[in-house]
Amino acid sequence: MSLVCLGLSHHTAPVEVRERHAFPPDRLGEALQALRDYDEIREAAILQTCGRLEIYAEVGEYEEGIGQLKRFLTNFRHGATGYDMESYLYTLLGNAVVEHLLRVSTGLDSMLVGEAEILGQVKGAYVLAQRTGTLGAVLHRLFRNALHAGKRARSTTAIGRHSASIATAAIELADGRLQGIAAHPVLVLGAGPMGRSALHRLRELRVADVAIASRRPARAQALAAEMHHGRAVKMQHLAEAIARADAVLTSTGATHFILTKENVGAAMRLRGGRPLLIVDIAVPRDADPAVAEIPGVTLLDIDDVKAHVEAKLEARKDAVPHVEAIVAAQAHEFARWYRSRAAVPLIASLTNKAEAIRAAEVERLFARCPDLTERERTLITGMSMTIVSKLLHGAIERLRERALDDRPDVLAHARVLDELFGLDVADQVARLLSRRHTAPDGQR
């Protein structure tokens, strides 16, 4: 199985490394298109969240494919890093890739187990790869299985019950730091999915004074109207909005610092000594780390949120074995499908050959019998299709069974059928079989 996943995540890299390698959301499609220029990359999808950057690919030759993925990360955006990038990367191969994506989509691998956003993020990666044209049959099937597993985990287990998102976890952290957030004015920076989750939770907590700012003012206005909560403020008045707030939750997706020592410092001069809490869950970060040097400012980032929620995971641990069973079942189903691919070109060629013969003979009959009615023609066509289907059914089922059971004699059958019917597919079957066995399964 020539599947590869190259990535870094909250398990392996701190936020300052993750943000260094995050793609701007509007360049993800361009990045996928760039991957198509690498010879060994046959299919590719990029999954990027606040906690991970992962490239999923089917490669021709796995050693060279992995090397090309690493060169892509270096060349496309990231360049020299000043540190050993390899120490933060992980590489998964074969079945380990399948299991990993299933664990990601079900929330088992999330910073917050069972988090609400990850399934939508996996779907977003799938849709973008499909739209860009880098998604082939293998990754299409893998991502569909992953989405199915994620939906099933949330509908049949408690993994997503009372599921918190990263944004709501950040608000819980702020609630504890402020000893009750309801009595404090709050500024939310960013009107995307994180901002929506934050605003929803603030409304549940009855926080009356909520301001929303976005780099796109219309989005902030639309979110406030949609949620019937909060008021939109303009980024031009950011210092004044910060000065009014006691807590700032930020996740904008910007590639530069939104909160700087200058604008936060200006806000603090307007506050009359009142302390300010900033919780930055953006990757790349919205707040310059130097902001923490300003007297009265407490700056927390997404890794602080991770540490906060780790103590709250006990309630979901009982659901983990049930979700693991879903992951195992979906991984088994994908593996069976992948093994069966060796029979696909053989079956397709055989049925196409039979259909071409059938159609030609029926047309010859119709030419000799021009007086046949439309109903008679339909009956003859249907009968001919039924005969071909019944003749091929047993052979097709046996080919599928041998491929699913990983039987090497599927290649022998292909060669016999090539000789008997001139199908010319044995070489293609051989290539598919070799790709199933050349790449080891596991992690590097």
What is the residue type of 191? Answer: A
Tokens of 283: 């990757």
**Under DSSP, is residue 116 helix (H, G, I), strand (E, B) or coil?**
coil
Strands laid side by side in the 276-280 sheet: 231-233, 210-213, 186-189, 247-250, 276-280, 297-301
Give the helix, strand, coil percentages of the chain, each rounded to 5.
60, 15, 25
Contacts (Cβ under 8 Å, ≥6 apart) of 167: 194, 195, 197, 198, 201, 249, 251, 281
CB 62, CB 56: distance < 8 Å = no
Provide φ and ψ at 249, rounded to 5°: -110, 125
> Pairing state of beta strands 276-280 and 52-59?
unpaired
Q: How far is 167 from 305, CA to CA, in rounded Å?
A: 9
Active-site option among 28, 35, 50, 439: 50
Q: How far is 388 from 33, CA to CA, in rounded Å?
A: 43
- Distance between first and last Cα of the chain: 15
Helices 409-421, 374-404: crossing angle, 10 deg rounding: 150
Q: How far is 46 from 77, CA to CA, in rounded Å?
A: 14
50 assigned to active site: yes
Q: How far is 55 from 53, CA to CA, in rounded Å?
A: 7
Q: Which residue has the tokens 């490239």?
A: 55
Q: How far is 235 from 280, CA to CA, in rounded Å?
A: 17
> Pairing state of beta strands 276-280 and 297-301?
parallel
> Pairing state of beta strands 247-250 and 276-280?
parallel
> Pairing state of beta strands 231-233 and 210-213?
parallel
Catalytic amino acids?
A: 50
